[in-house]
Structure 1
Amino acid sequence: MLTLGVDLAAVDKRTAMAVVEWLPGRAVVRDLVVDVSDARIVAASEHVDKVGLDCPLGWPELFVALVQAHRGGNVAVADSDGARWRRRLAYRLTDEVVREETGIIPLSVAADRIAHAAFRGAGLLAMLAAAGHDVDRCGGGSVVEVYPAAALYRWGLVYRGYKSRGQHVQHAELVTALREAAAWLELGAFDGLCRRSHDAFDSVIAALNARAAAIGKAVRPSDEQRTVARVEGWIALPTGPLSDLIHGADE
């Protein structure tokens, strides 16, 4: 099995991509690159079993409805609790599930800078669909939405602070911690890049998260949640430890 992890930024710069091959008892990082274009992501997706995309795959349903209503001058605040109404505008169903499961609050695709990456992500999804991929925003097809911070939390690793300025030492320590927790993961010549670039590191985590989704070791939407998740997207939160990835399914 091959998985592709993409840490998607709004532009090519700061976008990273990792390809991981899953073999009996071990996983090998076969490629790791930064400053990646959409065309290169699409080309790489042709050769893998699952793509883990670190980017919201949609917007909150209520937010989309608000924009449409506002365009026609017909906005109505249905909830007397303004704070609760704004929260429902800002966060998707899957964001709330991640919050409940981990205590981590994902960035709001409707009200934070992550929206710029999501604009690009929408175009990338269209390109992947045009290339013949099954783009199911619930994660049942070729592409699955991942969230490295939540995956790191699930796996008992540091999940915040390593992207801040001046945190290079802590970031390098996180790579060491990953290698200790997953001795079966072979970074090889890409170890240095992982330590220098948190974008590269996140793309590796995205590829590991894609593996969790591919072998049924990630949270899936219930039948009731699926209708909304098909539109808003669904974060494939890992359900167990890192060891699940290497022992969770036959090769």
Structure 2
Amino acid sequence: MVSELYNPITVVGVDCATKPSKVGMALGSFDGQHLTLVDAKVGSSSVKPVDVVATWIKGKAQSLICLDAPLGWPVRLREALHDHQAGATLNHSANDLFQRLTDKEICERLKKRPLEVGADRIARTSKSALDFLGELSISVGRSIELAWDQNPWQGVRAIEVYPAATRLSWGLKHASSDVLAQHCCFGGIDVNLLNNGHINDAVVCAIAGKEFLLHEAVRPSEEQKEIAMREGWIWAGRKPDEIKR
């Protein structure tokens, strides 16, 4: 039973952004089977997101941070730019340069193309997310590594998620409070908070974390893992009609 493998795990969903006022955060507790929401907030000029999350996870044996932002760049782009000189040809297709392996896999599986960290403004959000992890690590006095399997750990781990992909894996483009209630328990959360788009996405991020812990998210194959560990990997499930019964 999955529930026998875990102590309660603190799960934090973060809807990442470059401005604190657009960062949504959702705190949940995973008991091995179910996710219960405990708190939810949006940052502000006076409420620093990293301080909120640090308070949530300090002293917790196991914490999983689920971030809605790319946590790596395309390998081909990094290699092509290493010795590139202005005016020289880039000998790869645009897709290979600007899309990560996980972006292509999500597009093929869920028919949704993630924003390209190699080409879009999402790169600024990615930088903010990586800065967030670095500051959080210092604040809680613990290193934060990416999680690649569900084995119990001590301390803090992080994963990359994508709320749009998670919703599509449910067969939906949008998630009302009624839909979210099918995937988590609200605990003492005011349901009206879910009308805020940043909090709504943060809750979906936390649910994606639960699906990761329950082995319901698609993991990279052995052939894909080496590249995924360099570029990042979006943890999301399959479409309902693709789930093996």
Specify the TM-score bucket, using the shorter chain as the normaliser. Answer: 0.7 to 0.9
- How far residue 188 of structure 1 moved from its aligned partner, in angstroms, is 3.9
Q: TM-score, normalised by structure 1?
A: 0.77
- For the Cα contact (< 8 Å) 1:69–1:75, is it kept in 2? no
Kindly provide the amino acid, as one letter, of the partner of residue 59 in structure 1: W
- Alpha carbons 1:150, 1:237 under 8 Å: kept: yes
Distance (Å, rounded) in 2 between the aligned partners of 1:136 and 1:144: 6
After TM superposition, give the deviation of residue 138 of structure 1 in Å. 4.5
How far is 1:100 from its partner?
1.1
Letter in 1 for 2:164: A
2:47 is aligned with 1:44 = no
Q: Counterparts in 2 of 1:81-96, with a 5 A limit? A: 85-96=93-104
In structure 2, the residue matched to 1:193 is 193
In structure 1, runs of 5+ residues without a counterpart are: 80-84, 160-170, 245-251
1:31 to 31, 35, 39: 39
Shift of 1:204: 0.5
Superposed counterparts of 1:40-119, under 5 Å: 40-46=52-58, 47=60, 48-70=62-84, 72-73=85-86, 75-79=88-92, 85-119=93-127
Amino acid at match of 1:100: E
Change (3 A) 1:37 1:73: same
Matches within 5 A, 1:179-218: 179=181, 181-182=182-183, 185-186=185-186, 188-195=188-195, 197-218=196-217
Distance in structure 1 (CA, Å) of the matches to 2:95 and 2:190: 40
Corresponding residue number in structure 2 for 1:147:
162
Alignment check: 8 A CA contact 1:3 1:50 kept = yes
Aligned residue for 2:103, secondary structure, equals helix
Match of 1:165 in 2: none
* Structure 2 counterpart SS, 1:95: helix
1:135 equivalenced with 2:150 (yes/no) = no
Distance change >3 Å, CA 101–CA 240, structure 1 → 2 = closer
Code of the residue aligned with 2:143 in structure 1: it is H
Change in CA separation of 1:86 and 1:186 when aligned onto 2, cut-off 3 Å: same
- What is the identity, as a one-letter code, of the residue corresponding to 1:185? C
Counting helix residues as a fraction of each chain, which structure ranks higher?
1
> Matched residue pairs, number?
220
**C-alpha distance in 2 between matches for 1:213 and 1:25:** 12
2:39–2:189 CA contact under 8 A, matched in 1 = no
Identify the residue that residue 22 of structure 1 maps to in structure 2: 30
Q: Per-residue deviation at 1:226? A: 1.3
Structure 2: runs of 5+ lacking an equivalent: 1-7, 151-155
2:71 aligned counterpart, secondary structure: coil
Over the residues paired in the alignment, what is the CA RMSD in angstroms?
Answer: 2.6
Secondary structure in 2 aligned to 1:21?
A: strand
Q: What is the aligned partner in structure 2 of residue 163 from structure 1?
A: none
- 2:232 maps to 233
TM-score, structure 2 length as denominator?
0.79
C-alpha contact (below 8 Å) 1:137/1:233 kept by paired residues? no
Question: Partner amino acid for 1:40?
Answer: V
Tell me, in whole angstroms, the C-alpha distance in 2 between the residues paired with 1:91 and 1:41. Answer: 30
SS in 1 for 2:109: helix
